[in-house]
Amino acid sequence: MSPLLFAVAALAGGVGAGLRYLVDLGVARLVGARYPWGVLAINLSGSFVLGVITGGFPAAAFIVGAGLLGGYTTFSTAMLDTVALWRDGSRPAAVFNAAGMLVLGILAAIGGLALGATLAG
């Protein structure tokens, strides 16, 4: 890997982290912060876009996938939110968050792969 490619991917990761913050903040303002809807939206949209890139534009996978989407998506925050929901007594929400994130993320990635393959022709 060239130093330039590494630098571009690192910069893209920083942009992704900034986008994650803005999306999470925007969703929380829109629907409230009792449930981590922002993190769900971030991880599902990231899974979908990664599917599109992987399925149709693999040359962009390192910069967009590892860089931008690596900074944008957040498994650790999703799991911390799950533990916090459980600890606070919101057990059904905690189970939905953990299982829903996995199942919906897989479905989003599958949909993205299909769209990517279609766009690539």
Domain boundaries, the chain: 3-120
Residue 51 C-alpha from the chain's centroid:
11
Q: For residue 6, how many C-alpha atoms fall within 13 Å in the half-sphere facing its CB?
A: 3
Q: What percent of the chain has pLDDT over 90?
A: 96
118 is in an annotated binding site: no
The H or E element containing residue 30 is: helix 3-31
pLDDT band, very low/low/confident/very high, at 33 (cuts 50, 70, 90)? confident
Alpha-helix runs per DSSP H in 32-120: 37-56, 70-72, 75-87, 91-120
Task: Provide the mean pLDDT of the chain.
Answer: 96
Question: How much is the pLDDT for 75?
Answer: 94
Inform me whether the pLDDT recorded for 81 exceeds 90.
yes
pLDDT value at position 78?
Answer: 95
Averaged over 88-97, what is the pLDDT?
A: 97
% of the chain beyond a pLDDT of 70 = 100
Determine whether 22 is exposed, middle or buried from the number of CB atoms within 10 Å of its CB (0-12, 13-18, 19+): exposed
Was 54 annotated as part of a binding site?
no
Is the pLDDT assigned to residue 69 strictly greater than 90? Answer: yes
Q: What is the mean pLDDT of residues 12-22?
A: 98
The residue written with tokens 């989407």 in the block is 69
User: So what's the pLDDT on residue 34?
Assistant: 85
Distance set, CA 45 to CA 1, 18, 41, 83 (Å):
28, 15, 6, 22
